[in-house]
Amino acid sequence: MSKKIISTASALLIVMLGVFVGVSSAHAATPSVVSTKITGSNTLTIVYSEPVITNSWDYTNFTGNLSGLGIMSITGSGTSIVTLTLNGIPSTSNTSGYLTIGTGVISASTNASFPGGTYNVTSAQAPILSSVSVSVNNIGDTFSAMGSQITLTFSTNKSVVNPTVTLLGHTIGVSGTGPGPYTVNYTLVSGDAQGTIPATILFTDTSGNSGSATVNILSNGTSNTTGSSGGYITSNANSSGVLYPGNTIVFTLVPSVTQSNVRSVAGSYNGVPLSWYTSNNGATYIATYTVALGQANTTYPLQISGVTLVDQYGNTVGPFSGTDVQKTIVASTASGPITIYQSAAIPTPNVNTTPSYSLVSTAPGIIRYGGDCSSQTTSASAGLNTIVMNTLANGLHSNCVITVTDSAGNISNQLVVSPFVVGTIVTTSPSSDLTAQIKALQDRLVSLQTQTSASGASKSYQFNNFLGIGSVSADVTALQNLLKEKGLYTGPITGRYGALTEAAVKKYQAAHGLTPAGYVGPGTREALNTGK
């Protein structure tokens, strides 16, 4: 009996200790870093042992080959994989220096603080060939079955270790170190194939990333590269935001080796085929994707993938992909968040106490009124809308405002109705006095309209949409007002983007070091929005 009691007590003690130890261990657990690696041309990925909450300011003190770099954006907070987009590219493709991670990082589940520390950053990008050449000592229509000596020379974009070359089933010794150049010599023996001879190159960098390429040695002693791995695609959409119709993404394809005289490059983005071109003889290829009304919306950043090229020899190279897009796409509305603008002011003075007013809306929605004005018209359609105001008192009305809310809950800009006078002015003054009063009233209206126009084009106005010839919107009205204030635009304020507006935009762009394209794209919007 006594043994039983002791045994039971021991078991209970063991359970209690287990619970205690388990709770203490869970309480003491803190996030740790699993790896810190360069994963793209300008992206650095930190893998934690568990999901963490973190901000860009938790990462500081970039040193070594990361010296001088900073953080442009951060993604992945709330997960265990956090990616920093850097504002430049590390100085080499090898081990890329160090960074310090602060104690502001906390566990997403326990709120335990990360201890902080300095970590070595390595590259996760596979090495690629940077150059390749072939020489043969017996050049003719075909190689001789025996005796022809082939010399293959290649270099890589970073230091590699123990590269191997296989040619006609033979593994051949390689001489060279670091990024090369490496040299391979082989003399054809009886039984070797003649004509085009493939050579497969395998290499691994100092961080353990593997790369490969196949070089076809042609019968005339030249070569071409097929299936070379390690190419990638970058974009200019690597900061958070939303793209609307008219906005663009510029993609840059960087093949592993220069691909001159390619037959074609094929690739698409968001279901739209892209046209690719090179301006540097095949070192890079550029394509521009433009958002258009009716394309697919994206609820998370869509990455580009599946891009291939066919080289001058007919070999397919790729596929290539990218990982740095951070913008989403809304292509279901004409110009992003709903915008309204005045089509025509109410004539003034106006003897009609229920005057009509016209406005244009970029999307359908519910109309809301403020100030003196109201109407039985409560729905707007996309395009021109005519509103009949409810009965207004005689006199000046200068506080009427209108907004439209679309089906997604987006609220338009607040449209200030140009001041107007309703009713017949009754006076016992002589006609000359009446004329003077009307003139004074009209002068006051002009003053109010000028103030309203100026406030509508305030320097705090944010331009968010593409503007060019044919655009008609409140954004164009604000642009015209802003350019007029700067002495660049001399035409009427119409809200319509025509030749005069285009000429003024070109003057603005030239004055601020921008390409004088004549339309308002991302670079011009940034300059306007910063008050330049």
Q: How far apart are alpha carbons 324 and 301 in whole angstroms?
A: 9
- Tell me if domain 129-226 and domain 474-529 are identical in fold: no
| Percentage of the residues of the chain whose pLDDT score is greater than 90 | 17
More confident residue, 218 or 352: 352
Strand pairing category for 170-172 and 160-167: antiparallel
* Cβ neighbourhood burial of 33 (10 Å; 0-12, 13-18, 19+): middle
Domain boundaries 340-428, CATH class: mainly beta
Per-residue exposure over 257-272, b if at least 16 CB sit within 10 Å of its own CB, e if not: bbbeebeebebebbee
Closest CA to 400 of 440, 348, 473: 348
Three-class secondary structure of residue 322 per DSSP: strand
Domain parsing of the chain, residue ranges: 28-123, 129-226, 232-329, 340-428, 474-529
Three-class secondary structure of residue 192 per DSSP: coil
**In the prediction, which pLDDT does 87 show?**
83
**In the prediction, which pLDDT does 444 show?**
60
Q: How far apart are alpha carbons 317 and 265 in whole angstroms?
A: 9
Strand pairing category for 241-243 and 327-329: parallel
Three-class secondary structure of residue 463 per DSSP: coil
The number of CA neighbours under 13 Å toward the Cβ of 52 is 31
Q: Give the domain 474-529 fold.
A: Muramoyl-pentapeptide Carboxypeptidase; domain 1 (1.10.101)
Are residues 183 and 152 in contact, defined by beta-carbon separation less than 8 angstroms? yes
User: CATH: 2.60.40, 1.10.10, 1.20.120, 3.30.450. Which one for 232-329?
Assistant: 2.60.40
Q: What's the average model confidence in pLDDT over 336-365?
A: 81
Q: How far apart are alpha carbons 288 and 196 in whole angstroms?
A: 37
**In the prediction, which pLDDT does 6 show?**
39
336 φψ region: left (φ > 0), alpha (ψ -120 to 50), beta (else): left
Q: Is the per-residue pLDDT at 316 higher than 80?
A: no
Answer whether the bond into residue 179 is a cis peptide, omega within 30°: no
DSSP state of 58: G
pTM for the whole thing? 0.37
Sign (positive or negative) of CA dihedral 58, 63, 66, 68: positive
- pLDDT band, very low/low/confident/very high, at 229 (cuts 50, 70, 90): very low
Q: What is the pLDDT of residues 144-158, one digit of tens each?
A: 556 778 888 888 878
> 3-class secondary structure for 388-429?
EECCCCCEEECCCEEEEECCCCCECCCEECCCEEECCCCCCC
Q: What's the average model confidence in pLDDT over 459-482?
A: 80
- pLDDT band, very low/low/confident/very high, at 426 (cuts 50, 70, 90): very low
> 3-class secondary structure for 237-295?
CCCCEEECCCCEEEEEEECCCCCCCCCEEECEECCEECCCECCCCCCCEEEEEECCCCC
User: CATH: 2.60.40.1220, 2.40.70.10, 2.60.120.10, 3.20.20.70. Which one for 28-123?
Assistant: 2.60.40.1220
> Lowest-pLDDT range, 28-37, 54-63, 367-376?
28-37
Q: Is the per-residue pLDDT at 496 higher than 50?
A: yes
Q: Give the domain 129-226 fold.
A: Immunoglobulin-like (2.60.40)
Q: What's the average model confidence in pLDDT over 85-89?
A: 83
From residue 447, alpha-carbon distances to 70, 275, 351, 398 in Å are 50, 52, 22, 11
Render 194-235 in DSSP notation, one character per residue: -SSEEEEEEEEETTS-EEEEEEEE-TTS-EEEES----EEEE
Q: Is the per-residue pLDDT at 277 higher than 60?
A: yes
